Chains A and B, each alone.
Chain A
Amino acid sequence: MNEINLSFDFYHLWEVCGGQLILIVAGLLLMIIDMLLLDKDAETRGKYIGWLTVFIFVATLGHMVYRQWDIHDIVFMGVFSADKFSVFISIVMVFSGFLAALMSMGYLRNNALMKGEYYILLIYAVAGAIGLVQSVDLLMMFITLEVMSLAVYALAAFIKESPFSQEGALKYFLLGSFGSAFFLFGVALIYGLTGSVNITSIALAISGGLYQSLPLLVGFAMILVGFFFKMAMVPFHMWTPDVYEGAPSVVTGFMATAVKAAAFGVCIKVLYVSFGPILANSGQPDFASTVSLSALAPYWKPVVWWLALLSMFFGNLIAVSQTNIKRMLAYSSIAHAGYMSLGILAANGDGRMGVLFYLFAYTLMNIGAFGVVYIIDGKERTAQNLEDYRGLGYKYPALGFLMGLFLVAMAGLPPTAGFVAKFYVFYAAIKEGYFLLAALGILTSVIGAYYYLRVIYMMYMKEEIKEVVRGPVAAPTVIALVITALGVLYLGILPEKLANIANVAQQGLSVIF
């Protein structure tokens, strides 16, 4: 896997990176189609482009499930890999894009934002995210990270008339590029030390004894900082609440799931490949005896331990005092990043499986919740306060039920996907002996249950004080909400199937690296 294959087989590239290729080419085509439709009014144009986008995401999903899933290979001069692990996370992200595209049609109409470029940016954000989890090369990670981030910055700033949206996007942009500069500094250091940016070659260089060198540790720390920024882990979470509150609701749902999934996927991959069993499988048996996973674990495990604890505590505690529902969900997403990082910390097969399951479940419940938020909101920022949810359970029974379901799932109560997901990551952490952290994590999820259930309490136990009229509900949004709600319930009651698939997916890492 170390020698670079310079031959360029296009069919092979299509098999391994087909998902990305479909999205990139489709994005270009959609730009042209958007131009060709200029004589139509904005409403019709948005509808066409929106449905085309949904179709493209479905095609990408089909390609990934039926073709890429069975392929284990590294192509494009050793830059992109198709292994079941990255393909699983790619599927989660494309699914997230698919749900976001469905909901966006109604959202954009409610806010008079019908513009074709919205969907094109969405497609490129997903393409960048797929590239990020598929890349095995630090430089390509940087480029795809930026492709994803630039598209998401633009999406976050999509409501031009709203200073909130612009302000959140600017903060996201400034802190995001600050974070990627750190990432790149780490890449440069590691390149200087090992002469390579390929994570498998780096692993070999590390196992040759470099792991004790301070610049290498600094380099890896900086790379991880870049990932933690995107995952929104405390203390790198400063941008999260502002951006999530300011950005269009559907974009927030997408950001909180796809971007997080990409960052988690690539972080696990880097930690696994560069610090993991490759050292034992590298064909040079003396490395296996001298350096094992435990050689570098003492350096990064305490850091992840503290970040997980801080994220769980700060995320949940600060969410309690929020009055804006989007901001509350932003802090809850920080807390969820903390729970997921328990799986990274465990660094075993169960942990990785737990993270994969969690990402899928979180995608369903989070995008669903933001879908309800946007419908109740009508036009952005008209009814986002918790007070506005008083009595809504009786006024709009279906929306109230869905919101209740998603919030119960986020709180981690059975019989929903959120409970099973939390169970898997806590189980993995306990199996590795992190009893204290698991206990504290369960304590924080009790705090979490308070503010999630408070919204449900508002919806069903309180009288309406302010007249809140929900926005019109578009048919695609209904489809997306039904998919997410059924998914949350299905994964809560019968999780084995997805858990088995996730388990196969996490084993994919050891097949290819």
Chain B
Amino acid sequence: MAGINEYIILACILFGLGVIGFLTRRNALILFMSVELMLNSINLMLVTFSASRADMGGQVMVLFIFAVAAAEVAVGLAILICLFKHMKSVDINKFDLLKW
């Protein structure tokens, strides 16, 4: 059975993948997914800590984070749809009306 370290390392790897995805991909939807991946890696971490400390607090936090993440995506996708109507694209390199 895997110990706490393996889970934490896995969570950190997932978080790192999320960060890399956010910084390198150019599709706004993929950026959303990367942020979701980061949040879910944090959830994994919290559950692991919660189990290892025999403290329910971490698992309760996961539920809160689920709810907040869902609300975040709702607002984000709404903004993206409005922008898509103007730009006909989800490529963030094309969103360059505002610069310098």
A163 with B86, Cβ < 8 A, contacts A184-B42, A188-B42, A191-B58 known = yes
A173 x B83 contact (CB < 8 A): no
Q: Which residues of B sit under 8 angstroms from A173, Cβ to Cβ?
A: 75-76, 79
Please, how many residues of chain B have a CB less than 8 angstroms from a CB on the other chain?
41
Q: Which residues of B sit under 8 angstroms from A55, Cβ to Cβ?
A: none
Chain B residue with the shortest CB-CB distance to A241: B98
Min CB gap A332→B, angstroms: 15
A246 x B98 contact (CB < 8 A): yes
B22 x A178 contact (CB < 8 A): yes
Is A195's beta carbon under 8 Å from chain B? yes
Q: Mark A148-175, 1 if CB is under 8 A from B, else 0.
A: 0010011001001001101111110110
For the complex, give the distance between the alpha carbons of A154 and B79 in Å: 8
Chain A residue with the shortest CB-CB distance to B34: A178
Please, how many residues of chain A have a CB less than 8 angstroms from a CB on the other chain?
38
A166 with B98, Cβ < 8 A, contacts A177-B35, A197-B57 known = no
B82 x A184 contact (CB < 8 A): no
Tell which of A138-146, A352-360, A386-394 binds the partner.
A138-146
- From 54 to 79 in chain B, residues with beta carbon under 8 angstroms from any chain A beta carbon are 55, 57-58, 61, 64-65, 68, 71-72, 75-76, 78-79
B72 x A160 contact (CB < 8 A): no
Contact of A170 among B15, B39, B95, B99 (CB under 8 A): B95
Min CB gap A111→B, angstroms: 16
A191 x B61 contact (CB < 8 A): yes
Min CB gap A466→B, angstroms: 21
Contact of B99 among A153, A177, A242 (CB under 8 A): A242
Is A181's beta carbon under 8 Å from chain B? yes
For the complex, give the distance between the alpha carbons of A174 and B23 in Å: 11
For the complex, give the distance between the alpha carbons of A146 and B35 in Å: 14
A177 with B76, Cβ < 8 A, contacts A164-B97, A167-B95, A184-B39 known = yes
For the complex, give the distance between the alpha carbons of A164 and B15 in Å: 31
Q: Which residues of B sit under 8 angstroms from A139, Cβ to Cβ?
A: 61, 64
Q: Which residues of B sit under 8 angstroms from A197, Cβ to Cβ?
A: 57, 61
B98 x A170 contact (CB < 8 A): no
Give the dominant DSSP class at A's interface: helix
B64 x A191 contact (CB < 8 A): no
Q: Which residues of A sit under 8 angstroms from B46, Cβ to Cβ?
A: 188, 191
Min CB gap A89→B, angstroms: 23
For the complex, give the distance between the alpha carbons of A353 and B72 in Å: 35
- From 168 to 224 in chain A, residues with beta carbon under 8 angstroms from any chain B beta carbon are 168-171, 173-174, 177-178, 181, 184-185, 187-189, 191-192, 195-197
Q: Which residues of A sit under 8 angstroms from B48, Cβ to Cβ?
A: 192
Q: Mark A276-297, 1 if CB is under 8 A from B, else 0.
A: 0000000000000000000000
Is A83's beta carbon under 8 Å from chain B? no
For the complex, give the distance between the alpha carbons of A412 and B3 in Å: 58
For the complex, give the distance between the alpha carbons of A171 and B95 in Å: 9
Contact of B72 among A150, A170, A188, A189 (CB under 8 A): A150
- From 38 to 52 in chain B, residues with beta carbon under 8 angstroms from any chain A beta carbon are 38-39, 42, 45-46, 48-49, 52
Chain A residue with the shortest CB-CB distance to B12: A185
A181 with B82, Cβ < 8 A, contacts A164-B97, A170-B95, A171-B95 known = no
Is A245's beta carbon under 8 Å from chain B? yes
Q: Mark A302-341, 1 if CB is under 8 A from B, else 0.
A: 0000000000000000000110000000000000000000
A188 x B98 contact (CB < 8 A): no
Q: Which residues of A sit under 8 angstroms from B55, Cβ to Cβ?
A: 195
Contact of A143 among B18, B68, B80 (CB under 8 A): B68
For the complex, give the distance between the alpha carbons of A41 and B85 in Å: 27
Chain A residue with the shortest CB-CB distance to B39: A181
Min CB gap B12→A, angstroms: 9
Chain B residue with the shortest CB-CB distance to A169: B79
Chain A residue with the shortest CB-CB distance to B8: A192
Is B17's beta carbon under 8 Å from chain A? no
Min CB gap A118→B, angstroms: 15
Ordered by A's residue number, 15 sampled pairs between the chains whose C-beta atoms are within 8 Å are: A143-B68, A146-B68, A146-B72, A157-B78, A164-B98, A170-B83, A170-B95, A173-B75, A173-B79, A184-B42, A188-B45, A195-B53, A196-B57, A242-B99, A322-B100
Closest 7 pairs between A and B when the two form their complex, measured CB to CB: A192-B49, A163-B86, A166-B83, A181-B38, A242-B98, A188-B45, A157-B79
Chain A interfacial positions (CB closer than 8 Å to B): 139, 142-143, 146, 150, 153-154, 157, 160, 163-164, 166-171, 173-174, 177-178, 181, 184-185, 187-189, 191-192, 195-197, 241-242, 245-246, 321-322
